[in-house]
Amino acid sequence: MKKLCLFLKIGTLAAVCCAAVALFAGCGGEELSKPSGVYVDDISQYLTLNWNAVKNASKYTVEMNGETQEVRRNTFTIDDIAPGSYTIRIRAEGDGVRYGASDWSEAVSYTKEADSGLRYKLINNNTAYEVSGLGKSDVNAVVDDTYRGKPVVRIGESAFSGSTRLKSIVLGKNVTTIAKRAFANCGVLESITFSDSVTSIAEYAFQRCISLTSVTLPKGVTVISNYAFSSCRGLEEFKAEGDVTSIGVYAFSNCDKLKAFDMPDTVKTVGEYAFFTCKAMTNVHVSSSLREIAPHLFDTCESLTELTLPEGITKLGDYAFARCKTLETVKIPSSVTAIGTSAFSAATALKDVTMGDKVASIGRYAFEETKLWNDAELFVVAGNWIVDCKYRLFDEELTFTLNEDNLPEGLQGIADYAFAGTKGIYGVFLPDTVRHIGNFAFYYSQSLMNVELGNSVERIGEYAFAACELLSSLDMGESVKVIENHAFTHCTALANINLPDSVEKVGTYAFYATEKWRSSDVLVYVGKWLVGVRFPMYVAGSVELREDTIGIADYGFFNCGGFTSIRLNDNLQYIGRAAFYGCMSLESISVPAAIKTIEDYTFYYCASLQSVEFQGNEVQSIGKSAFYGNFSLQEVHLPESVTFVSPYAFYMCASLTDISLGSATSIEKCTFYGCEALETIDLPETVKSIGEHAFHGCTALSDVGLKEGIESIGTLAFYGCTSLESITLPGSLGRVERYVFYGCSELKTVTLSSGIDTLADHAFAGCIKLESVTLPAGLHTIGEYAFKNCSALQSITLGPDILYVDSHAFYGCNALTVYCAAESLPKGWSELWNTSYRPVFWNCEVKDGAVHSVYGAADNVDAVGGVNAPVKEGYTFVGWTQSSSAEQADPEIKTPADSETTVYAVWEEKKAEDNEENNQ
């Protein structure tokens, strides 16, 4: 037997007995006992004086600095006393007949500090205060640095909201946070002075402070939240001294008097409508770190005359500069690739636009009702793009052709809807300079018969030529890479179509209802691409692609529910998005070696698909919901080339038993949700993160190989994995998130490696068979309900690094004994941490993963279920002894509380056969 020692030194409890002597003092009756336990409660919302009730007292006299006042109860609110030092005594008063007055209580001293008169509220487990209202403060308020000896760290949610008195406020030096709507609708607030300690300003904090004229944010504020200063109609000047990185949606919207804004170059994101209707703004410096101009960002900035956009911006959002009526000139950076719908619409003075060669799309109405648009005779040209056609309905008899003779020199693109709905254009012959054709560019061009796209067009947008019913001749040139959804759908006269070898993607129903489509048998080919199936219900049995097929269009075999197998030829290079969506009878698939991507929804709801084989090692990613609902899929081995597996990839693959993940770097959200037959998974060492719900409902999962290097596991990742019996979490994880192992009803053993410092709320809640938890040194936080209803948990040791245990952390752990390194309840712990009232031994020394010694106080030792011994991995607890050298346990000592001297624990090392039996 190997013995390790655990000693408990329990101080002798002195019992003091007092004899009650009945004394009568004349006609006053028996003298009452003098009040005890007098204290001032400065933790509750209101300052109160409290003492223990005296039996038979009819009232009490409170004396403060010689002045007295009678009260009926053993508590007295003193919130209104003036600042200063007080000596306080209490006397119990009898009825004057049977009971006489007591002596004065022992005097207590209390000092009330001067404060501003603001209303305060305790927060952060009673360690600090927040301002909760204006209270009795003057209209020019000053937030105290401390209140009742604790720091004031926050302006609470809606603390001053709607105040009609507050004119100015100076924040104390400890304030770090201004909460949501703290000053919203303070209509007479004229100024605010921030302390350097402020780091956070929440949503709506100063919304509609219409009298606020100037704001200077301190260096610590890095985020300007949503609606923070919206509708501050008097705001004229704003300055941020720190490195602001983000400006939220509507942050300064409707700030009518804000004339200029110097956006720090540290700003990386600005939300939609951030400066919407800043009608006085004439100039704005845009951050050099910004990559997108959000939708409606400067919409209706009617005075904006000068605009310099830095290089690096890639997108101008919808309505970004709409209704900027005085903006005349715009130089769009060469880095911009997309200009959104109505981006400059109704910017009525805009007459000059330059842009770079990287622009690949321009949305509908991008320059409508600008001077460019108004002055145009036929084509509206912005930079090197045609963005609109001024007169869409030509005379029906007019024969008009777009060609090099009438198109702008150097033309690079046709914007969305530029020629949609035109009548009279019968031919489009684009020069080799054109590279992009936008969505709906020639949609329903009623006279269009001939199209030649030149040799530089790379993308044909969605519905670009859809419903051109007279179009019969089409030459796409030699450079087209992408043909988007429905690009030529319902071109009913289009019979001869040749796709260049450059094509890499054909969108959904790109050639639907063309003559080519209608004249096909079952499988519809355009060039070397299978672009659709004319009669899905006729596709049955085995399907074989043409040998020269290089691509399958998006949704190519959509809802072809009858065929059971398909041979994909070796030349196949592209399988489109949702290519086999809803192929309910497909049983197996062999992916050719040249395929590099399994796109989103490729095999979505292929309910009979049992096996997938990858011929090569080129596939790099598995798309979102790629194998979603493949209920029969049993085995998948992804090649080593795979580095990314998208969310929902194997969602509800209920028969999946074997999976290898190649070189995936993450397991994304819901990847294996509902894979109820999956028993084991060996995660590759390349995996760094596991997403939310990743293994949710994998009821057969009993082994997960979590490697050192995993940095995060998302909420509910292993929710309901009811076969999981043990788990070791690597130290690289750092934090166990909320509900990660919620409802793992068979989980018995959890080992948290060194490096993990936080268990979040409900982390192991509902693990009803959890018996052993090894907590590492360095763990400092245990969240709310972290071990809720872990009813089999016998003992747990909380080491010296535990700084915070939240409310109800061990709720429902009705067999638990807790061994704590702390001498008593630590200041930072929730008072409700042990709401199951389980035995707690304080001042326990923890070494080598076990409790070696215990000395000091104990709580709840008479709890139902008794005291359980501490747990040491690899050992069996034998019992307690009073001798450090004893080889045998003392059967008389059932718990450390049974002896008034130091006690030692006796441990026996587990034998190999015991471990084997336990494992079985």
The residue-averaged pLDDT of 848-869 equals: 73
Is the confidence at residue 462, as pLDDT, over 60? yes
Split at pLDDT 50, 70, 90, the class of 383 is very high
pLDDT mean over 820-842: 88
What are the structure tokens assigned to 394, written together? 């030509």
Taking the C-alpha atoms of residue 846 and residue 848, their distance in angstroms, rounded to an integer, is 7
Predicted confidence (pLDDT) per residue in 264-317, tens digit: 999 999 999 999 999 999 999 999 999 999 999 999 999 998 888 999 999 999
Task: Give residue 600's pLDDT band: very low, low, confident or very high (50, 70, 90).
Answer: very high
| Contact present, 481 and 502 (Cβ < 8 Å) | yes
Which region, left, alpha or beta, applies to residue 162 given φ > 0 means left and ψ of -120 to 50 means alpha?
left
In this structure, what are the phi and psi dihedrals at residue 63, rounded to the nearest 5 degrees?
Answer: -115, 125
- The letter for the amino acid at 383 is G
The residue with greater pLDDT, 95 or 337, is 337
Which one is predicted more confidently, 819 or 668? 668
Query: Do 820 and 800 meet the contact criterion of CB atoms below 8 Å apart?
Result: no
What are the backbone dihedrals phi and psi of residue 897, each rounded to the nearest 5 degrees, phi first? Answer: -75, -10
pLDDT of 251 > 70? The answer is: yes
Region of poorest pLDDT, from 3-7, 142-146, 597-601, 761-765: 3-7
Question: Considering only CA atoms, which of 628, 590, 605 is closest in space to residue 559?
Answer: 605
Candidates 411, 426, 409, 526; CA nearest to 476 is: 526
pLDDT of 74 over the 60 cut: yes
Supply 749's token pair. Answer: 């053993």
Q: How confident is the model at residue 8 (pLDDT cuts 50, 70, 90)?
A: very low
Whether 4 shows a pLDDT value over 50: the answer reads no
Tens digits of per-residue pLDDT, 169-195? 999 999 999 999 999 999 999 999 999
pLDDT at 394 over 70: no
Instruction: Calculate Rg over the CA atoms of the chain.
Output: 38
Domain 27-112 has CATH 2.60.40.10: yes
Q: Would you state the pLDDT for residue 879?
A: 80
Given this model, what pLDDT does residue 605 score?
97
pLDDT, average across residues 686-702: 97
Tell me what pLDDT residue 853 has. Answer: 62
Residue 727 β-bridge partners: 750
Lowest mean pLDDT among 135-139, 411-415, 481-485: 135-139
pLDDT at 360: 97
pLDDT band at 476 (very low <50, low <70, confident <90, very high): very high
pLDDT of the residue at 862 = 82
- Write 134-139 long-range contacts (CB < 8 A, 24+): 134/160, 134/163, 134/165, 134/166, 139/165, 139/166, 139/167, 139/168
Amino acid at site 176: T
Residues 689-703: b if buried by 16+ CB within 10 A, e if exposed: bbbbbbbbbbbebee
| Angle, CA 375 vertex, CA 373 and CA 379 arms, to 5° | 60
Q: How would residue 2 be classed by pLDDT, with cut points 50, 70 and 90?
A: very low
Mean pLDDT, range 653-664, rounded to an integer:
96
Strand stretches in 297-456, DSSP E: 306-308, 315-316, 329-331, 338-339, 352-354, 361-362, 379-382, 385-389, 400-402, 413-414, 425-429, 436-437, 450-452
For residue 163, CA distances in Å to 130, 135, 184, 195, 231 come to: 17, 11, 9, 22, 16
Burial 490-508 (b: 16+ CB within 10 A, else e): bbbebeebebbeebebbbb
What percent of the chain is predicted at pLDDT more than 70? Answer: 93
pTM of the entire structure?
0.81
Q: Listing from the earlier edge strand, what are the strands of the sheet with 459-460?
A: 379-382, 385-389, 413-414, 436-437, 459-460, 482-483, 505-506
186: closest CA among 202, 167, 173? 167
For the cut 50, the answer to whether the pLDDT of residue 710 exceeds it is yes
What is the band of 571 on the pLDDT scale with cuts at 50, 70, 90? very high
> Is the model's pLDDT at 599 over the cut of 60?
yes
Model confidence at 540, in pLDDT bands (50, 70, 90)? very high
Burial 632-655 (b: 16+ CB within 10 A, else e): bbbebebbeebbbbbbbbbbbbbe
Q: Which of 702-706, 777-781, 821-825 has the lowest mean pLDDT?
A: 821-825
Q: Provide the residue ranges of all domains of the chain, joining segments of one domain with +.
A: 27-112, 213-375
Q: In angstroms, rounded to a whole number, what is the distance separating the alpha carbons of residues 107 and 123?
A: 30
330-372 confidence digits (pLDDT tens): 999 999 999 999 999 999 999 999 999 999 999 999 999 999 9
What is the secondary structure of 39-69 as a DSSP string?
Answer: EEE-SSSS-EEE----TT--EEEEEETTEEE
- For residue 750, is pLDDT > 70? yes
Residues 339 and 359: beta-carbon distance below 8 Å: yes
The class level of CATH for 213-375 reads: alpha beta
Please list, residue by residue across 572-588, b when 16 or more beta carbons sit within 10 angstroms of its beta carbon and e when fewer do: bbbbbbbbbbbbebbee
Instruction: Count CB-CB contacts under 10 A for residue 667.
Output: 25
pLDDT at residue number 856: 64
- For 179, 703, 871, 902, 904, the CA distances from 887, given in Å and listed in that order, are 61, 39, 19, 16, 11
pLDDT of residue 392: 60
Please give the pLDDT value at position 851: 63
Give yes or no for a contact between 415 and 438, defined as CB atoms under 8 angstroms apart.
Answer: yes
pLDDT of 596 over the 70 cut:
yes
What does the pLDDT average to over 584-607?
97
pLDDT digits (tens, 9 = 90+) for 614-646: 999 999 999 999 999 999 999 999 999 999 999
pLDDT-based confidence at residue 45 (cuts at 50, 70, 90): confident
Compute the half-sphere exposure of residue 296: CA atoms within 13 Å on the CB side of its CA.
13
Q: Above pLDDT 90, what percent of the chain?
A: 78
* C-alpha distance from residue 581 to each of 419, 425, 560, 656 (Å): 34, 39, 8, 19
Asked if residue 419 has pLDDT above 90, the reply is yes
Mean pLDDT, all residues of the chain:
91
Q: Which residues pair with 473 in a beta bridge?
A: 450
574 within 8 A of 504, measured Cβ to Cβ: yes
How many Å apart are CA 789 and CA 779, to the nearest integer?
21
